[in-house]
Structure 1
Amino acid sequence: MLRLLLSAAFMLALGSTSAFADEAVTCPAFLDHDLPKLHSKDTVNLCDLAAGKPMLVVNTASHCGFTGQFKGLEALHERYAKQGLVVVGFASDDFNQEAKTEEEAATICFKNFGVTFTMIAPGPVTGADATPVFAHINQQAKAPRWNFNKYLLNAKGEVVKSFGSTVNPENKSVTQAIESVLQQSN
Structure 2
Amino acid sequence: MSQPMSMDSEPRGAQCAIHPERSAATICNRCGNYACELCFQVGADRQDYCTDCLPRTEPQLATRSSRLGAVMVDQLFVVLPMFVGILLGTAVDKDWGAILFGGGALVFVLCYQLYVLLEHAQTFGKRMVGIKVVRMDGSPVGLGRLLVLRNVVPAIIGSATCNVFNLVDSLVIFAEPSRCLHDYIADTKVIHVGKDA
| TM exceeding 0.5 | no
**Larger relative contact order, structure 1 or 2 (CA cutoff 8 Å, min sep 6):** 1
Considering only CA atoms, is the larger Rg found in Structure 1 or Structure 2? 2
Structure that is richer in helix per residue: 2
Q: TM class by shorter-chain length? A: under 0.3
TM-score (norm 1): 0.26
Structure that is richer in strand per residue: 1
TM-score (norm 2): 0.25
